[in-house]
């Protein structure tokens, strides 16, 4: 990549390619948070429509599925700090992309939560309640304790990353990774909505927690810690499970694109 296409952003060197990737991550995470949390905050408020847990779970899965095809070819379609760190742990994401991706993801989720709040608050008498935030103990939908919620978030994120890495490795069906990944997220929500309201995504948890405030913010640490550790464990396992030739390294793709 020529020097004319590189520039400094906020004192951090960010080339044109990294900015494109970060922008894709911003829009992807915005859509995930707006679509998924929007289904929970807006549509689930009308039980007569029958959306329920299944509808919310499908909404989250569909946001990932649609954006994976829209911008996945630009950034890899992470839309989730845990996914970025898990792929980095598995040598699937270049180190120089980690912070720009996570920054874009968190900003996208926060802005999406803000837009969603501005829409939801337009209804007379609307009360935010938990605003699709995640929680444990009294803030858990099913009143599950800290240990149960920690285990749930660790395991679901671990398997989410395991599926992502497996379906995007060499030998997997080309062009179809977004489908199993999207359905995996649907299944994860069906299992864990009653437990934690389903995070597996620290950015998605951060946006709504900032709106809900109070104890939801105080419990946000769990929804960074457990997903990140689970994702990085999956990445580490993938390095051992898959032969090096079966893993498409981000750095290799970048070198080919720069030629």
Give tens-digit pLDDT for 206-257: 999 999 999 999 999 999 999 999 999 999 999 888 765 445 444 443 444 3
Q: 219: buried, middle or exposed (CB in 10 Å: 19+, 13-18, 0-12)?
A: buried
Query: In the chain, what are the domain boundaries?
Result: 15-120+130-258
| pLDDT exceeds 70 at position 11 | no
Q: What share of the chain has pLDDT > 70, as a percent?
A: 85
pLDDT at residue 13, rounded to an integer: 57
Half-sphere exposure at residue 16, Cβ-oriented, CA atoms within 13 angstroms: 8
For the segment 28-77, what is each residue's pLDDT rounded down to a tens digit?
999 999 999 999 999 877 767 768 889 999 999 999 999 999 999 999 99
The CATH architecture annotation of domain 15-120+130-258 reads Up-down Bundle (1.20)
- Measured on CA atoms in the order 202, 204, 210, 212, is the torsion positive or negative? negative
Quickly tell me which residue has 């009143």 as its tokens.
143
What pLDDT shows up at residue 133?
A: 97
Contact 247, 92 (CB under 8 A): yes
Q: What is the pLDDT of residues 73-87, one digit of tens each?
A: 999 999 999 999 999
């Amino acid at each position: 990549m020529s020097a004319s296409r590189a520039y400094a952003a906020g004192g951090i060197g960010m080339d044109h390619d990294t900015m494109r990737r970060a922008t894709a991550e911003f829009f992807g995470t915005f859509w995930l948070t707006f679509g998924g949390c929007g289904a929970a905050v807006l549509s689930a408020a009308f039980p007569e429509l029958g959306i329920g847990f299944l509808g919310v779970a499908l909404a989250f899965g569909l946001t990932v599925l649609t954006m994976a095809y829209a911008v996945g070819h630009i950034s890899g379609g992470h839309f989730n700090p845990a996914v970025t760190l898990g792929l980095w742990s598995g040598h699937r994401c270049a180190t120089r992309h980690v912070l720009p991706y996570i920054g874009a993801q968190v900003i996208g989720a926060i802005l999406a939560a803000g837009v969603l709040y501005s829409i939801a608050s337009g209804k007379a008498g609307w009360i935010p309640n938990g605003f699709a935030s995640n929680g444990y103990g009294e803030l858990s939908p099913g009143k599950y304790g800290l240990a149960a919620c920690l285990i749930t978030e660790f395991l679901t994120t671990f398997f989410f990353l395991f599926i992502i890495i497996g379906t995007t490795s060499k030998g997997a069906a080309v062009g179809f990774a977004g489908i199993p990944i999207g359905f995996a997220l649907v299944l994860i929500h069906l299992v864990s909505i009653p437990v934690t309201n389903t995070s597996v995504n620290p950015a998605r948890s951060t946006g709504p927690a900032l709106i809900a405030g109070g104890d939801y913010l105080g419990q946000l640490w769990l929804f960074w810690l457990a997903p990140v550790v689970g994702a990085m464990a999956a990445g580490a396992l993938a390095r051992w499970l898959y032969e090096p030739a079966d893993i498409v390294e981000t750095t290799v793709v970048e070198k080919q694109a720069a030629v």
